[in-house]
Chains A and B, each alone.
Chain A
Amino acid sequence: QKEVEQDPGPLSVPEGAIVSLNCTYSNSAFQYFMWYRQYSRKGPELLMYTYSSGNKEDGRFTAQVDKSSKYISLFIRDSQPSDSATYLCAMTDADNYGQNFVFGPGTRLSVLP
């Protein structure tokens, strides 16, 4: 079993839809959770980050962490064609990168106009 599993996708939705992206993990030491967006031929960019359990909202994006279930989610409201990219979850046990900084395999999202 991989340390971080992510919905494989690819995911294709119409413009304006609500998108749910999910990751599960096995290491209970993870405390710091991140979501990155990666456009084709570009490096990843940090979208959202959360510490421990709870929700965090930033514009159209909401990140949720449920440590009891070892499950994290990213919701995108009113999705736009410009949201078409690969989304990567990431997590670690310390905010200074820690001893085990891992990424999910990514979910490719296409938002159709």
Chain B
Amino acid sequence: KAGVTQTPRYLIKTRGQQVTLSCSPISGHRSVSWYQQTPGQGLQFLFEYFSETQRNKGNFPGRFSGRQFSNSRSEMNVSTLELGDSALYLCASARTGSVYGQYFGPGTRLTVT
């Protein structure tokens, strides 16, 4: 069974640009959640989608947004990039909406210059 896949794996952007990251969940999983991991702030929860609806959201500015498609694939968008947005962005999928059942992908390393 294929795991969670994230594309691209590495990305370099310039301050002020916007970026879209993609996450393909494990087949049959309906929940996708997104996280930001930095050395300073650690792993932080961004938001979670279940059956195309955003159910929960962490404490991030509105520049961070996401969506989920009918096939459960999800995208995360960051607008007006700042240097502090440089991070590893992880997504995780779960069959149900339980936080216990999530499997993480390998992440997308975003560098903002």
Q: Which of A34, A96, A103 contacts B55 (CB 8 A)?
A: A96
- Chain A residues in 8 Å Cβ range of B42: 88, 103-106
Within 8 Å of chain B (Cβ to Cβ): is A25?
Answer: no
Complex contact B45–A101 (CB within 8 A): yes
Whether A98 is near chain B, meaning CB under 8 Å from some CB there, is yes
Residues from chain B with a CB closer than 8 A to the CB of A96 are 50, 55-56, 97-99
Q: Contact check, B99 vs A92: say whether CB atoms are below 8 A apart.
A: yes
Q: How far is the CB of A86 from chain B (nearest CB, A)?
A: 10
Dominant secondary structure at the B interface: strand
Q: Which residues between 1 and 54 of chain A lie within 8 Å of chain B, taking CB atoms? A: 32, 34, 41-46, 49
* B56 and A97 form a contact (CB under 8 A): yes
Nearest chain-B residue to A45 (Cβ)?
Answer: B104
Contact across chains for A42 and B44 when beta carbons are under 8 A apart:
no
Does A112 sit at the interface, judged by CB under 8 A? no
Query: In the assembly, what is the distance between CA of A38 and CA of B102, in Å?
Result: 14
Contact, CB under 8 Å: B105 / A99: no
Given contacts A96-B55, A96-B99, 17 further A-B contacts (CB under 8 A): A32-B99, A32-B100, A43-B4, A43-B90, A46-B100, A46-B103, A49-B100, A95-B98, A95-B99, A96-B97, A97-B33, A97-B55, A97-B97, A98-B99, A101-B99, A102-B45, A104-B42
Binding site for A on B (CB under 8 A): 4, 33, 42-45, 48, 50, 55-56, 58, 90, 92, 97-100, 102-107
